């Protein structure tokens, strides 16, 4: 008789956003006259920029003609896209990354989940708390995280790095030395980031301890302050200790079209000299048949002059929402952070309310939906995430309602 992978059975409860959707549905059924505004989910709302749409149309037409039709894409991605990536995302920032270190994919969520496959099953992971749940859950599915404790909401074989107000929501070096360190800056959910000098310390720490950093830079386009690195490869020595994940989802609105890439430097080797770049190439070639040609052309258009200008305008629109939300909450007496280099605002719940109590309170009294911080880990308890991905009008209206509470 076959057996299911019981690592999956150890995973905690239902997915955070399903629980939220259920509560919102129930509220709407009970209160059909109320207009609910969602500042909850981390998904973009603006349509794809005109330069991207134009490129999509052109690529679709190429598919209709024998001479320009494309079948399977090259495993690692088309050269036109990978060279645009190298030039714009790395060379332009003084970071050294070559084209054969870029692996084009269908997004950073799947890459952040899959990348653990090229590491030994007894490697120990360290994560920030609160955390983007994908990092932990995929390691749990792979059997790397030990047992889940329902009381503490922690896994027995994971090193947690609490990110709290007293450290500006940045992690500290853990007491126990990890093998794999997940870092995400600018951060989802807290919106926090670290300076390039602080990131350099993590790179040095990883090199000294022979650990690898899996660096999720999905929000790099939202960085507005000069002291923040856009890529970990701006730090000296990152090529021997870091993998970087990138996504077109938040930078350019590809959440529905799907495109991302991962950088695995050739200098990244384990203690026996095994090249991780070769392993990831092997994995990619075996389990992935490439991102669609049409979408890779759309990705190329993000790096055109028009594409850059148009996507910058979209990001400015979201970041203006972030400002409205953050300033409005501050004026209403809330303790808030984030929202400067990321589209996320992280607020402390008032009057000692738990994250879920505040969720219910906000839904019932302001008809505004956000995300309970505790859903991202125990250190998120007492916090709440609002996103800037809504419309300007809804962001303003939501804040007006919250101010009246």
Ligand X SMILES: *Cc1c(COP(=O)(O)O)cnc(C)c1O
In the complex, the residues that contact ligand X under the rule CB under 6 A are 42, 107-109, 112, 132, 184, 188, 216, 218, 247, 249-250, 255, 260
Please give the Cα distance from 167 to 173 (Å, whole number): 12
Closest distance to ligand X from the beta carbon of 178 (Å)? 19
Asked whether the beta carbons of 163 and 190 are under 8 A apart, the reply is yes
Closest distance to ligand X from the beta carbon of 363 (Å)? 23
Q: Which is nearer to ligand X, 106 or 179 (CB)?
A: 106
Q: Which is nearer to ligand X, 114 or 123 (CB)?
A: 114
Strands 371-372 and 383-387 turn out to be antiparallel
Read off the tokens for 89.
């995302």
**Torsions phi, psi for 242 (to 5 deg):** -135, 140
Closest distance to ligand X from the beta carbon of 397 (Å)? 25
Closest distance to ligand X from the beta carbon of 179 (Å)? 21
End-to-end CA distance of the chain: 58
Please give the Cα distance from 108 to 260 (Å, whole number): 5
Q: Which is nearer to ligand X, 109 or 326 (CB)?
A: 109
* Residue found by looking up tokens 């399903």 in the block: 18
Q: Which is nearer to ligand X, 112 or 371 (CB)?
A: 112
Closest distance to ligand X from the beta carbon of 66 (Å)? 33
Closest distance to ligand X from the beta carbon of 340 (Å)? 17
Closest distance to ligand X from the beta carbon of 395 (Å)? 19
Q: Which is nearer to ligand X, 108 or 402 (CB)?
A: 108
The residue number with the shortest CB distance to ligand X is 107
Read off the tokens for 203.
């790179």
Q: Which is nearer to ligand X, 367 or 374 (CB)?
A: 374
List all residues 6 or more positions away from 4 whose beta carbon is below 8 Å from its beta carbon: none
In 10 A of CB 283, how many CB atoms?
15
Q: Which is nearer to ligand X, 249 or 349 (CB)?
A: 249
**Torsions phi, psi for 121 (to 5 deg):** -70, -15
* Residue found by looking up tokens 């007293």 in the block: 166
Strands 180-184 and 212-216 turn out to be parallel
Closest distance to ligand X from the beta carbon of 260 (Å)? 4
Q: Which is nearer to ligand X, 219 or 359 (CB)?
A: 219
**Torsions phi, psi for 128 (to 5 deg):** -70, 150
Half-sphere exposure of 200 (CA within 13 A, CB side): 9
Strands 383-387 and 344-348 turn out to be antiparallel
């Amino acid at each position: 008789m076959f057996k299911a992978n019981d690592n999956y059975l150890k995973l905690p409860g239902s997915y955070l956003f399903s629980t939220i959707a259920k509560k919102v549905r129930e509220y709407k059924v009970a209160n059909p006259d109320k207009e609910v505004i969602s500042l909850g989910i981390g998904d973009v709302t603006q349509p794809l920029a005109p330069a991207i749409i134009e490129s999509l149309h052109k690529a679709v037409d190429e598919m209709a003609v024998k001479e320009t039709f494309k079948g399977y894409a090259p495993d690692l991605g088309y050269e036109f896209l990978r060279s645009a990536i190298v030039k714009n995302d790395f060379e332009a920032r003084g970071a050294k990354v070559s084209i054969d270190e870029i692996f084009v994919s269908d997004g950073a969520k799947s890459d952040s989940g899959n990348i653990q496959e090229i590491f030994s099953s007894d490697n120990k992971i360290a994560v920030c708390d609160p955390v983007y749940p994908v990092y932990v859950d995929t390691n749990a599915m792979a059997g790397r995280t030990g047992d889940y404790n329902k009381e503490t909401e922690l896994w027995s074989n994971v090193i947690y790095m609490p990110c709290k107000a007293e450290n500006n929501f940045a992690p500290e070096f853990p007491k126990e030395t990890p093998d794999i360190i997940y870092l995400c800056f600018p951060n989802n959910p807290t919106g926090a980031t670290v300076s390039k000098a602080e990131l350099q310390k993590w790179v040095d720490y990883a090199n000294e301890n022979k650990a690898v950093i899996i660096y999720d830079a999905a929000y790099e386009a939202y960085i507005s302050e000069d002291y923040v690195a856009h890529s970990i490869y701006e730090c000296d020595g990152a090529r021997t200790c870091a993998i970087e994940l990138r996504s077109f989802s938040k930078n350019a609105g590809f959440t529905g079209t799907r495109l991302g890439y991962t950088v695995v430097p050739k200098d990244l080797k384990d203690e026996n000299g095994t090249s991780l770049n070769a392993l990831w190439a092997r994995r990619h070639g075996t389990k992935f048949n490439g991102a669609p040609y049409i979408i890779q052309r759309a990705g190329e258009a993000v790096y055109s002059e028009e594409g850059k200008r148009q996507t910058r305008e979209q990001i400015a629109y979201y970041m203006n929402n972030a400002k409205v939300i953050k300033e409005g909450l501050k004026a209403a007496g809330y303790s808030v952070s984030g929202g400067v280099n990321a589209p996320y605002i992280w607020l402390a719940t008032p009057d000692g309310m738990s994250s879920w109590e505040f969720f219910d309170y906000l839904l019932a009294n302001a008809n505004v939906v956000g995300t309970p911080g505790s859903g991202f880990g125990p250190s998120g308890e007492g916090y709440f995430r609002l996103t800037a991905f809504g419309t300007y009008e809804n962001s303003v209206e939501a804040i007006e309602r919250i101010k009246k509470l």
